[in-house]
Amino acid sequence: MQSRQTVHIMSAEWRWVIFVGSALVLLAFSPLVWVALRGTPDWQFMGALHNYQDGASYLSKMRLGYDGSWLVYFQHTPEAHSGAFIQVLYLLLGHVARLIAVPPIIVFHVVRVGASLFMYISIYQLGASIWTRVRARRAFFIVAVLGAGLGWFFGPLFQNSGFPDLVGVPEAFSFYSTFMNPHFPLTIACLALLMALFITAYRPGAEDDPAINAALPLASVLSIALAFLYPQALVPIGMALVLYIAIVWRQDRKLPVRLSHWVLAVVLPAIPIAAYYVITVAYNPAMKLWNDQNITSAPTVLELLIGFGIPLLVAVPGIYRAIRRFERDGDRLMLLWLFCIVIAIYLPLNVQRRFMIGMIIPIAYFATRAIEDVWLARLSRRWRPIAICIFVPLISVSQVLMLFLPVLPAIMGNPERALGVFLERDYAAVYQWLEPRSRSDDVLLASPLASAWVPGWVGMRVVYGHPYETLNASEKQQQVLDWYQGTDSGATCTALLDEYNVRYILYGPEEQKLGQTACLASLRLIAQSGSVAVYAP
């Protein structure tokens, strides 16, 4: 069965993809299910296991949509500012949550399930567009989905967690991306489908197939989806497509008109959306500050190589063959895509890491080429099952480790060590008390940890709550720390409250960790739930 060849995807193949994809979804959600079923008596799970600050940011945007907005306002900052039509997916999910009367956090995770399955199906569709051999399709799927590097080994060895397959770049890896949010796997799915379209359209003889030409509008739809979901993803793939056309033009001494139409189908729809982003960042002061703070630097070259580890090593013969022959087929297109990703992540921009999304796909392509053409020929049939049993776990260690790492403190009975994932349960009670007693433009002062979840849970603004979405974040973070560490109960205490028109102040276990402030003496205690008190100026 595994060596069988077919042009179309057979029903047995789809059953295999659905089964494996569903198993991976269950695995990805198992820590979340464990938290939900077992619970933590004194601690409240806040809604996101991985990268709590970004998880809180997504929920705050869903809250905006839930309240009827179609523009994003940063609720993790106290200033009033103009909104923008960005990160539209979360606004849309908030509207959906309101229409079906379901809490936004439930919609967030349900859509995450759907996005994960869609990504797995799309990756297999890409593999089927390239290979007729079922074995090769499955090999590509396994490497593209489970493949990651050796950060799990070198991270502890060098005390460095910045490798891409650890906390560095989850969006570069398919399975890892499903832990974080819905828009990472949706973006990878769109990239896989777009590449499947181009590999099929650029194949010799495709110009005579009306079905392929009829799929041209789908390329535009995928481009628009990427522009809204993750605009940086279009940069490397757009560069690769333009380079491909330029190379063919140079070789043939004439412009490949049909191929150019496909490139234009991707580039043209994205231009007005890109122009809107550029204008927004240039002329909306809040968005400009957000963009300036949103620094995601690329890993070093060594970290990059280690981060893709064994899949990259396996892919070397395939990459070498593609460079040496540079044939007008999928090899050239994938090689150019991988090359443009590497170039893009080292451009002097503040979003270098963002260009790495889906980087495992071209690496998995060349790894599969090498497996089929080189590595299997060097292994006897007797040793192949053993090699597979070693290879698959080794390439997936980092992703499985990162899946369970955030929940390990709770499993060990120390949920307080899972930074931002859990808060003392009294905070949840206070948030529920505040929700009907506040407006979206009210400002709350609390510790950075407690403030991160306030916009999503309550709908209020905070003085500081996010390193990117709090305007002038480092300054405000220091102001909050100084206030809770202050010993002067006079003008120093009221200055911060007056500057940002603070309506509520929290003082609980997380604030006590910052200091025993004397500023509470001049405030009114208006509510208390266990260890968390609510004050007003």
Q: Would 91 be classed as within a structural domain? A: no
Which pLDDT tens digit goes with each residue over 81-105?
999 999 999 999 999 999 999 999 9
Residue 63 has pLDDT above 70, yes or no: yes
What is the arithmetic mean of pLDDT over 249-257? 91
Residues 139 and 220 in one domain: yes
Share of the chain above pLDDT 70, in %: 98
CA angle (363, 365, 367) in 5-degree steps: 70
Which pLDDT tens digit goes with each residue over 215-227?
899 999 999 999 9
Q: Would 43 be classed as within a structural domain? A: no
Residues 204 and 348 in one domain: yes
Q: Would 44 be classed as within a structural domain? A: no
pLDDT band of 522, cuts 50, 70, 90: confident
Domain boundary among 407, 442, 466: 407
Residues 246 and 393 in one domain: yes
Residues 499 and 388 in one domain: no
Rounded to the nearest integer, the mean pLDDT of the chain is: 92
Residues 250 and 362 in one domain: yes
pLDDT at 491: 65
Domain boundary among 375, 407, 439: 407
Domain boundary among 351, 384, 407: 407
Q: Would 218 be classed as within a structural domain? A: yes
Higher-confidence residue: 376 or 6? 376
Question: In whole angstroms, what is the distance from residue 304 CA to residue 347 CA?
Answer: 15
pLDDT at 1: 40
What is the arithmetic mean of pLDDT over 447-472? 96
Residue 2 has pLDDT above 60, yes or no: no
Helices within 330-374 (DSSP H only) = 330-345, 360-370
Higher-confidence residue: 214 or 394? 394
pLDDT at 339: 97
Q: What is the pTM of this model?
A: 0.95
pLDDT at 489: 53
What is the arithmetic mean of pLDDT over 497-517? 93
What's the token pair of residue 271? 């231009």
Residue 352 phi, psi dihedral angles, 5° rounding = -55, -45
Residues 428 and 350 in one domain: no
Between the alpha carbon of residue 271 and those of residues 115, 164, 241, 285, 452, the distances in Å are 26, 30, 15, 22, 34
Residues 461 and 374 in one domain: no
Q: Would 48 be classed as within a structural domain? A: no
Q: Would 81 be classed as within a structural domain? A: no
Higher-confidence residue: 504 or 207? 504
Residues 16 and 122 in one domain: yes
pLDDT at 159: 87
Domain containing residue 532: 422-536
Residues 434 and 466 in one domain: yes
Question: In whole angstroms, what is the distance from residue 239 CA to residue 341 CA?
Answer: 9
Residues 169 and 234 in one domain: yes
Residue 488 has pLDDT above 60, yes or no: no
pLDDT at 322: 93
pLDDT at 442: 95
Q: Would 55 be classed as within a structural domain? A: no
According to DSSP, the β-strands at 43-45 and 422-424 are: antiparallel
What is the arithmetic mean of pLDDT over 54-70? 96
pLDDT at 411: 84
Question: In whole angstroms, what is the distance from residue 316 CA to residue 178 CA?
Answer: 27
Residues 344 and 201 in one domain: yes
Count of structural domains, the chain: 2
What's the token pair of residue 30? 């198992």
| Contact between 326 and 334 (Cβ < 8 Å) | no
Which pLDDT tens digit goes with each residue over 313-344?
999 999 999 999 888 778 999 999 999 999 99
Q: Would 398 be classed as within a structural domain? A: yes
Residues 313 and 207 in one domain: yes
What is the arithmetic mean of pLDDT over 238-256? 93
Which pLDDT tens digit goes with each residue over 389-426?
999 999 999 999 999 999 898 888 888 888 899 999 99
